Every structure is written in structure tokens, then in C-alpha cells.
Structure 1
Amino acid sequence: MASTKTGLPPFQVLVDEHWRDVARLARALAGPVDGDDVAQRAWEKAFAAYPKLTSARNLRSWLLTITARCATDVHRARRPQRTLDEAPPIVVDGPDAADWPDPELWKAVSALPERQRYAVTLKYVGDLDHHGVAAALDTTPAASRRLVSDALATLRTTLGVDDD
């Protein structure tokens, strides 16, 4: 396997190793309708930026950060350009039941505030550490921990789960 001067693997190797992670995260963040488009857009952005990378460290985290930002762009594009009083509520469908066997949990996750929803999804679906979540959300690791903690507390309350 040939690599570049910076130690980066060929882009196809990156795709082969991480396409499932990108697809899964895109679908979790953008839903079944837009998930494939978000994943495709993430790969396009990654391909365009890849030659400029100077390090092969944390390539998976880098890809998932791009994916999260592409999903954010989709959600922003969905929002009507009206005042809050005029805008109808935005409903984001979750993944198919076959992909996520607990529809009650997905419904509770989709009801979380956007940043909490993204943080908990990046942490548990994307399997990112708090530094990766923070990078994806353009915040600090401490704020990432707080977002995930608040999301989990809300989910526990919503689903009636005890901490015991």
C-alpha cells in the first residue's frame, strides 16, 4: 500500500476503512431520507480537503466531524426563512426501525435540543471521544461532556430510567 509524504494512506483506503462509520453517523444525524446525501457530501468534502492534510492522526474523527457538519447544513437548509412565530415545527424522522430497534429511544433522542442530539449521537453512534465531539460541534471538551450529560439526563427522565 503506497502512502503520501505525510503518512496519509491513499484516499480509497480511507473510504474502505470508514465508509460504514460515515454512513451510520450521517443516517443517525440526518435521518433515513437525507442520510445517504449527507454521507455523499461528507465524502466529497473530505476528498477535496484530503490533499491539504498534514497528518494522518485521527482520520476517523476528522471524517466524522465533516459528516456532522454536513448534517448540520442539511438541517439548516430545511428551516424555512420565516419568523419563529410563523414557522411550523420541524419534524426530523429517525432511522428505520430495522436499523434502530428501539423506536421509543429514537423518538426521545430526536426530541432533544439540536446540540444535545448531535453530541449524544456523535458520542454513542459515532463513537467519538469528547475531544472529537467538541471538534465536530466547534466547542470545548468540557462543553461536550456537559451536552452529553444533559442529553443523557433528559433521556433518562423521558424514558423513565433509573440511575441505579
Structure 2
Amino acid sequence: MQPFDRVVTEHGAVVLRVCRAVLGGHADAEDAWSETFLSALVAYPRLGPRADVRAWLVTIAHRKALDAIRARGRRALPVDEVPERISDLGVPGSDDPDLWRAVAALPERQRLAVAYRYLGGLPYAEVAAIVGGTPEAVRRAAADGVASLRRSMGADPPGGAPGPAASPSPAASASAPAAAPTSDAARGGRP
């Protein structure tokens, strides 16, 4: 079993990305990250040698994020001055507030599926075990979430990417002249 500090170094960024995707705000996500590793430190000596450490940590992070969501209702009023931000642990996209707002705006099931599958790197079966449902339902939620993120970030226009395979709108079809047949069969010849 590797030393716990190596576990934190190896999986810290993944856990933080998952916490941010579920919780949105930096302070809540960083608190959940800390709570995740404090709980993991206590339980780590009892972890089996064949355990999937990343899946185990993401599961703990999921529970800590849910605890943070429940605690929001019991939280004191915000202060006038915001404290200085702590390190991002080299998290890709961490300096893009629009991306994190878009992730936070996803419906909960899509947000969790995207967080655990793409940020946490878990297989669909493990994500389904964490959030409930089937791997197929999680796969669909993750795909819908990614599509929504692409649209909101301007990567795909609404309705999907245009291209040669895209069918014209009904209005355009009604006003466009019919295309001439081009195949041999359409001209009366043999295929």
C-alpha cells in the first residue's frame, strides 16, 4: 500500500474537480476536498490491497459534497470581504468561471454523471452505483450533460453541429426545389 501523501498527490486533482462539479463554488468544493481526505486518512489503513482507490475517494467526495449541500441551509450569512483563494492543484479549466457556472447549471443527474465519469474518471457502472440507476442511464445523462456544456460554452450551436449530414429545416425543404436524381437506378438504368 502506497503512503497516503502519494494518494493525495495522485488523486487530489480528480477529487477537487469532482467536488467543484457537484458543488460549484470554490470554497464549498475545497472544504469538501479537505473533508474527503480527512475521512480517507482515517479509513485508509483498512482499505483492501485490491481496492480501486480513485473510485473509493470519489465515493467519499460524493458523500462529503452531499453533506455540504445539506449544510448550505444551515450556513451563516456571507461576509463583506471574500478571503483569498487557495491553490487549484493544477486543475485544468479551474480558471474558467464560465465553465464552472455551466457545470453548476446542469440538472443534478447530468452534473453528477459528468463529474464522476469525466472529471473523476470512473466507469459508468461505478458512477451508477454512486448516483443510482443503470450504467446506460448514467451514460445517457453524461452524454446529455456534455452536449449541454458544449452548447452553453459555444462549442456546438443549438440543435447540434451543422454539416453535410444535417437535414434542412422543414421551411427550407418546402421552399427548395427538388433535387434531380443522380443514381443510375433513379435514371432508369441498372444499379
What's the % identity of the aligned pairs? 41
Corresponding residue number in structure 1 for 2:9? 16
Unpaired segments ≥5 residues, structure 2: 75-87, 164-191
For structure 1, which segment, 111-120 or 20-29, has the greater mean C-alpha deviation from structure 2 after superposition?
20-29
**1:26 corresponds to which residue?**
19
Instruction: Work out whether residues 26 and 39 of structure 1, in 8 Å CA contact, stay in contact via their aligned partners in 2.
Output: yes
| Equivalent in the alignment of 2:34 | 40
What is the RMSD of the two structures over their aligned residues, measured on CA atoms?
Answer: 2.7
Long gaps (5+) in structure 1: 1-7, 81-94
Q: Is the 8 A contact 1:65 1:132 kept in 2?
A: no
CA offsets per residue over residues 109-148 of structure 1, 9 Å max, x none?
Answer: 2222212111112222222221232233244322311221
Letter in 1 for 2:106: L
Tell whether the 8 Å contact from 2:128 to 2:135 is kept in structure 1 after alignment: yes
More helix, by proportion = 1
- Alignment match of 1:123 (pick from 100, 117, 120): 117
Spell out structure 1 runs of 4+ moving beyond 6 A.
none
Q: Deviations over 1:7-64 (max 9, x none)?
A: x323233223222222332233222121211011101221222233223332112112
TM-score by length of 2: 0.60
The residue aligned with 2:179 is: none
| Structure of greater Rg | 2
Matched pairs, number: 140
Q: TM-score, normalised by structure 1?
A: 0.69
Alpha-carbon spacing, 1:113–1:19, altered in 2? closer, same or farther (3 Å): same
